[in-house]
Amino acid sequence: MAHHICPWWVGYLLANPLRRFFEKPEKMLAPFVRTGMTVIDYGCGMGFFTIPLARMVGLDGKVIAVDIQKKMLNGLRKKIRRTDLSDRIMLQAAGAEQLIEEDSVDFVTALHVIHEIVEQDAFFAEMYRVMKPGAKLFMLEPRFHVAAEAFRKSVDMAESTGLVLTSNIDFSRSLSVVLSKP
């Protein structure tokens, strides 16, 4: 698998509102997200999914937005300041996930990011650790960028940590699955 990190400046393109013509965060995430949940948005970039997630979890919920790139997190921080969601979103540098308590997360998104994670086994093991029993991980990769075989290897690696494949989701431009912690 290639281990290329998306350049930080592409974050502005990925957060562009025109992207909603192809991906509608609220519609994609509605089957999984409820008020009061704690959600990790792993590989959050500049918040295309983070901001809608924060609205979806409501006043009693929390979104932990994780990214490896400080410039992505800074871009998201600026966006958050223009909203009333700052009390619901916690920004965190990738690699510091150990700060999240065991069995404390209801839902994890890994959208368009798994192919960039060098140590996927460590990532899935950490997500398993922080997920509550019954919690779900929604993994999605673009078909034009990630081969089906590479995606399947990532799913297999997730399953090797104890996560269970719950469903395949059909988004025409993407490869996507939901895995659960038993």
* Domain carrying residue 109: 33-180
The β-bridge relationship of strands 164-171 and 174-180 is antiparallel
Q: Using CB atoms within 10 A of its CB, is residue 157 exposed (0-12), middle (13-18) or buried (19+)?
A: middle
Residue 104 lies in a domain: yes
- The CATH number that applies at residue 175 is 3.40.50.150
Distance in angstroms (rounded) separating the CA atoms of residues 14 and 167: 26
Residue 18 lies in a domain: no
Residue 8 lies in a domain: no
Q: What is the pLDDT along the chain (182 residues), one digit of tens a residue?
A: 345 676 555 555 556 665 556 778 899 999 999 999 999 999 999 899 999 999 999 999 999 999 988 998 999 999 999 999 999 999 999 886 677 899 999 999 999 999 889 899 999 999 999 999 999 999 999 887 799 999 999 999 999 999 999 998 877 678 999 999 99
User: Phi-psi category of 89—alpha, beta or left, where left has phi over 0 and alpha has psi -120 to 50?
Assistant: beta
Residue 20 lies in a domain: no
> pTM score > 0.75 for this model?
yes
Q: Are 89 and 57 in contact (CB under 8 A)?
A: no
Residue 17 lies in a domain: no
Number of domains comprising the chain: 1
Backbone angles phi, psi at 63, to 5 degrees: -120, 125
Distance in angstroms (rounded) separating the CA atoms of residues 175 and 107: 19
Residue 10 lies in a domain: no
